[in-house]
Chains A and B, each alone.
Chain A
Amino acid sequence: GAVVSQHPSWVICKSGTSVKIECRSLDFQATTMFWYRQFPKQSLMLMATSNEGSKATYEQGVEKDKFLINHASLTLSTLTVTSAHPEDSSFYICSAREGDNEKLFFGSGTQLSVL
């Protein structure tokens, strides 16, 4: 299957700082990428959908100024958690969809811990 690379796997930061998470599709062009948040033993919670070259569409209740998403190319999307606070600590996962392909491929996830 297609490969989606997500970095970093783990990040620890101080409260008030910003953290950037990268999501790359390595062997296909991803016209659409998705960002999720997952709490322990819970399912995926969709945060936003991004299409290459356009603004991300955020789900209700997700602060767009706090979770900045950039999808500048067909192979790279980034999620920046700005002014992180301890309540932002979570497991963040990206996924990518290839064109009209209905298959969705996931990155390996990023565990964010805000001290």
Chain B
Amino acid sequence: QKEVEQDPGPLSVPEGAIVSLNCTYSNSAFQYFMWYRQYSRKGPELLMYTYSSGNKEDGRFTAQVDKSSKYISLFIRDSQPSDSATYLCAMSSWNTGNQFYFGTGTSLTVIP
């Protein structure tokens, strides 16, 4: 079983839709959760960072962590064509040393 599972999509939504992206994980020790956005032929850009459980909101983006279910989500409200990218989840723990564990990424296209 992979440490982190993420549906690769592709996901296609109309402009203005609410997008839900998800990852599940198997290691209950994970405490730090990140969402990255990666445009084609660019490095990933850190969008959201969450420690432990709960919600975090930043503009149109909301990150949720449910440690009891080992499930994290990223919601994008009022999606825009510029949100079209691949979204990667990542996680780590103080006891995983230098290791960060990544999902495979979900490809999102927002259609104008």
Interface residues of A, Cβ cutoff 8 Å to B: 1, 4, 6, 32, 34, 41-44, 49, 51, 91, 93-95, 97, 102-109, 111
Across-interface contacts of A104 in B (CB, < 8 A): 34, 46, 90, 100
Q: Contact string, B33-77, partner A, CB cutoff 8 A, digits 1/0?
A: 010100001111110010100000000000000000000000000
Q: Is the interface of A mostly helix, strand, loop or mixed?
A: strand
Across-interface contacts of B102 in A (CB, < 8 A): 43-44
Task: Known A32-B98, A43-B102, A43-B103; judge A106-B43 contact (CB<8 A).
Answer: yes
State whether A108 touches B49 (Cβ < 8 A). Answer: no
Residue among B43, B51, B105 facing the most chain A CB atoms (10 A cut-off): B43
Instruction: Let me know if B88 is at the binding interface, CB within 8 A.
Output: yes
Within 8 A of A (CB), among B1-51: 31-32, 34, 36, 41-46, 49, 51
State whether B104 touches A43 (Cβ < 8 A). Answer: yes
Q: Which residue of B lies closest to A50 (CB)?
A: B98
State whether B44 touches A102 (Cβ < 8 A). Answer: no
What class of interface size applies to chain B in its complex with A? 20 to 34
Instruction: Let me know if B92 is at the binding interface, CB within 8 A.
Output: yes
In the bound complex, what is the Cα–Cα distance between A51 and B98 (angstroms)?
A: 10
Q: Could you name 6 residue pairs across A and B whose Cβ atoms are closer than 8 Å?
A: A44-B44, A91-B41, A94-B43, A102-B49, A108-B42, A109-B41
Interface residues of B, Cβ cutoff 8 Å to A: 31-32, 34, 36, 41-46, 49, 51, 88, 90, 92, 94, 98, 100, 102-105, 107
Q: Which residue of B lies closest to A107 (CB)?
A: B43
Across-interface contacts of A91 in B (CB, < 8 A): 41
Across-interface contacts of B51 in A (CB, < 8 A): 102
In the bound complex, what is the Cα–Cα distance between A105 and B45 (angstroms)?
A: 7
Q: Which residue of B lies closest to A104 (CB)?
A: B100
In the bound complex, what is the Cα–Cα distance between A1 and B94 (angstroms)?
A: 21
Across-interface contacts of A102 in B (CB, < 8 A): 31-32, 49, 51, 92, 94
Q: How far is the CB of B35 from chain A (nearest CB, A)?
A: 12
